[in-house]
């Protein structure tokens, strides 16, 4: 696993030898970041990487000039690799690691800080098989409603075959893609005038 573009292009990420992570392929990551770039997301944006694992998505965003990334990872062993990758990339001053269950805390903003422009949601596939009202994912979107800025985007990665709703509260699906065994849906916070 590596950073594929930007200031840290080619940097290999440290990761545990375990089956507990589901790394995103370079091809899918490149396609996803091209889509985000087309939406004008990344440069100088505040980003949160939930269920971040070793930080592949958040570090890619930083390499491509995101302003700041909050990483949320519950597993202490995986979070240790994440912190090593952040230090290796030289991004310590532009990051924060929160060791918590992202389903409960969402993307906690810094004290008195603005909300997030972009949030990656990449939970274990088994936790996203139920996606309707009352599901863990629906509850997470309720939390994110108070943490994402107007017109902000939430990127949800699930196993292929999972059909996500067109909306969760103020979030509306604006793009959906399938790549092999995974699906990605982009949700945007509707503006107050919509």
CB 49 within 8 A of CB 62: no
Evaluate if residue 110 carries a pLDDT over 80. no
The arithmetic mean of pLDDT across residues 46-53, rounded, is 96
Evaluate if residue 125 carries a pLDDT over 90. no
Residues 78-109: tens digit of each pLDDT: 999 999 999 999 999 999 999 999 999 999 88
Rounded to whole angstroms, the Cα distance separating 110 from 48 reads 11
Evaluate if residue 26 carries a pLDDT over 80. yes
Domain architecture of the chain: domains with CATH? 26-189 (3.40.50.150)
What pTM value is reported for the model? 0.94
Phi and psi for 50 in degrees, rounded to 5? -90, 145
């Amino acid at each position: 696993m590596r950073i594929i573009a930007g200031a840290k292009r080619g940097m290999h990420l440290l990761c545990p030898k375990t089956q507990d992570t589901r790394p995103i392929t370079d091809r899918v990551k490149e396609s996803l970041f091209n889509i985000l770039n087309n939406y004008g997301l990344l440069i100088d944006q505040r980003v949160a990487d939930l269920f971040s694992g070793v930080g592949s998505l958040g570090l890619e965003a930083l390499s491509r000039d995101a302003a700041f990334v909050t990483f949320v990872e519950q597993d202490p062993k995986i979070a240790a690799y994440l912190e090593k990758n952040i230090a290796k990339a030289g991004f310590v001053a532009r990051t924060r690691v929160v060791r918590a269950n992202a389903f409960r805390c969402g993307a906690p903003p810094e004290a008195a800080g603005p909300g997030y422009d972009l949030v990656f949601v990449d939970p274990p596939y088994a936790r996203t098989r139920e996606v309707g009202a009352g599901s863990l994912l629906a509850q997470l979107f309720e939390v994110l409603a108070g943490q994402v800025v107007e017109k902000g985007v939430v990127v949800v990665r699930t196993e292929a075959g999972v059909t996500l709703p067109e909306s969760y509260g103020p979030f509306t699906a604006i793009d959906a893609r399938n790549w092999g065994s995974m699906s990605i849906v982009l949700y945007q916070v509707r503006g107050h005038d919509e």
